[in-house]
Amino acid sequence: MTEISGKTVVITGAASGIGRGTAIELAKRGARLAISDLDRAGLAETAKRIEAIGGKVSTYLVDVADRDAVYAFAQEIESAHGGADIVINNAGVAQIARVDELSYEDFEWVMNIDFWGMVYGTKAFLPQIQKKGEGHIVNVSSIFGIISVPSQAAYNSAKFAIRGFTEALRHEMKGTRINVSCVHPGGIKTNIVRNARFLQSTQATVREEAASGFDKLARTTPEKAGETIANGIAKNKARILIGTDAKIIDLLQRILPSSYGKIMFRREIGPLSGAAETGEAKA
């Protein structure tokens, strides 16, 4: 079991959504929170809610796509708190476009935040955890790190990469007291679709259509997601699936690894076709 009470927990992308829900839940369990984001107002609101329940929290404005900024953040945590005990790499963004419409600029934007932000967060804080001899690293992937869907090639690429990186790290930490978890949320009620990048020529109409469709599909609240992640950390679960939809899709992929698309995508529909978007949206 991973002890949470009294531990220093770092969470990126904590200004809203899964990041906020997880931060508040861990604060309820006695953790000291060090939360980051680029959304100053949202970050302040998360801190306010944590303090309202008697939690301890410090906030940091950090661009996870900036390696130097992430390492500077890690150094601040080392100086102020004696290093991190639990690190949750959660910050992420989405890009909605077909492969033949997807620009390299937008592809790199997603990968720099979702994938490289996770890599920087892991490598910057891992030495602190190793120095302590125990701890927990949690990387947030998605159900889109289990299956691929139309119009989500960039996001799928990042989330599959997070899964692969995290599983490799878990194998490397075998025999130590450092635990590693990969989180796969299903449809969570966050702002990721409204903050996503869309193909510019259809942005106005497609964004509203996608956001409306997502709101209907997203069943799990950020608070419930935070509770599930906290429980997964406490139990040292290697894979944390959030929501019934995530569990069903995971099972479907296992049963039909190469043909699940025939069931899920029987007709061409708009962005987020066949599955609810997941995660946290912070540019």
180 DSSP β-pair partners = 137
- Are the beta carbons of 156 and 149 closer than 8 angstroms? yes
Q: Which of 71, 104, 120, 155 is catalytic?
A: 155
Within 10 Å of residue 61's Cβ, how many Cβ atoms?
13
Active-site residue, 155 included = yes
Within 10 Å of residue 260's Cβ, how many Cβ atoms?
18
136 contacts: CB under 8 Å, gap ≥ 6: 2, 85, 86, 87, 129, 178, 179, 180, 181, 233, 236
Alpha-helical regions (H) of 29-184: 40-52, 67-81, 104-110, 116-132, 153-172
Alpha-helical regions (H) of 82-115: 104-110
Q: Which residue reads 């801190």 in tokens?
A: 47
State the angle between helix axes of 17-28 and 222-234 in degrees (0 to 180), rounded to the nearest 10: 50
- Are the beta carbons of 263 and 252 closer than 8 angstroms? yes
124 contacts: CB under 8 Å, gap ≥ 6: 70, 71, 73, 74
**So which residues are the catalytic ones?**
155
